[in-house]
Copies of this chain bind each other. A is one copy, B any other.
């Protein structure tokens, strides 16, 4: 039955692209209130489309902010249920003048579809919709059960999702979640993200004198919070690039030799990496490869620092306060709340006694790792192999995808991160694009995946 679906999908490519162009033409920017009606329009477009291709109970569920689109096909008795997550909202488009074609007037140039949302995430999500359609238009049924959950708030941090999950546990019940909101290594080398770093984000304020002082009258005899802050920040790393916070690495799960071997197999070009990042040479923790540093190792970075006089010219002030924002990317089994405590204890220990330091954690995200041995993962691996002709590699991502943690915590679901994007899709930037061969192979991969999941 997958064979007919594959043939149907291949024959329909022109129509699939036409429909995707329709969807990405809707400027559903979630963060801008003036696009509220476009958000509604995109949600409604999806509901109608999901109904048209034969899904049931398609509905836009209102939330406090933007609606969640849901639809299902549950006719495969005794078969697993996959919850396919995606999002129909997009990032703002400015600076508009840097776009070669209008972000909401999609254009195909050299196998790429250029439009805001083409890769992130309308195009990737639409691949699964077209796979489902291929089955329903040929076999009139799916090999497994499918539920779509397509939200409109991903780009603003999914504020309504927690409530929606807790009040729709029955509706969302499934065996595994499938998310296509990531990228693969190259058009010929698919990959599956199985690890995502968590985060603890800290704001720290150092106070020296209780009011600003003139450095001519006081310099040399009073504690300067700017110097003290720099001293604290400098002590957050050891000379070898590792994080110096006491206990920071205690819970870091050691990768198995097998996992290490796999990470070592990942194609990685240091020169390319440096060029992309715009740096003369890489930096980081000694004893680990760049691939490991980026995905498998916890890290610490200052994201902002400020204090004193920052205008033009020379003002000789010793300010009362200096501040910094610090984020730590975490890996399993580090606990973001525990890390916040360790950070605070360490800073209290190293801070010069002549200043006071306030540490405040302002954001937490759990690190996530998916067991690569669960059957769903094996099916995903095989599906990629059949559509791309190459075995996918397993990668760990440096960033966080908060919905993965939410799905696990609230619904008990592991997530398969089956991406179809590429690293140069320019997400959140001008000239976002989606590589169309990946769109079509994405549809094939999804068709294979559903077939392979069938018991």
Q: Which of A197-243 contact B (CB under 8 A)?
A: 197, 199, 201, 208-211, 213-224, 226-227, 229-237
Residues of chain B with a CB closer than 8 A to A297's CB: 220
Distance, CA A279 to CA B321, complexed state (A): 12
Verify if A61 is at the interface (C-beta below 8 Å from B). Answer: no
A305 touches B226 (CB 8 A): yes
B315 touches A304 (CB 8 A): yes
Verify if A261 is at the interface (C-beta below 8 Å from B). Answer: no
Residues of chain B with a CB closer than 8 A to A180's CB: none
Residues of chain B with a CB closer than 8 A to A310's CB: 304-306, 323, 325
Verify if A285 is at the interface (C-beta below 8 Å from B). Answer: yes
A215 touches B354 (CB 8 A): no
Verify if A438 is at the interface (C-beta below 8 Å from B). Answer: no
Distance, CA A210 to CA B153, complexed state (A): 31
Verify if A317 is at the interface (C-beta below 8 Å from B). Answer: yes
Residues of chain B with a CB closer than 8 A to A309's CB: 303-304, 325
Verify if A277 is at the interface (C-beta below 8 Å from B). Answer: yes
- Contact (A302, B218) CB under 8 Å given A230-B230, A316-B199: no
Across the interface, A278 reaches (CB within 8 A) one of B211, B285, B354, namely: B211
Q: What is the oligomeric copy number?
A: 2
A421 to chain B, nearest CB (A): 13
Most buried by B among A214, A221, A316: A221
For chain A, give the interface size range: 35 or more
A305 touches B322 (CB 8 A): yes
Distance, CA A226 to CA B326, complexed state (A): 10
Verify if A96 is at the interface (C-beta below 8 Å from B). Answer: no
A329 to chain B, nearest CB (A): 5
B277 touches A329 (CB 8 A): no
Distance, CA A352 to CA B234, complexed state (A): 12
Residues of chain B with a CB closer than 8 A to A234's CB: 227, 230-231, 233-235
* Residues of A participating in the B interface, judged by any CB pair closer than 8 Å: 197, 199, 201, 208-211, 213-224, 226-227, 229-237, 273, 277-285, 290, 293-294, 297-299, 301-310, 313-320, 322-325, 327, 329, 352-354, 356, 362-363, 397-400
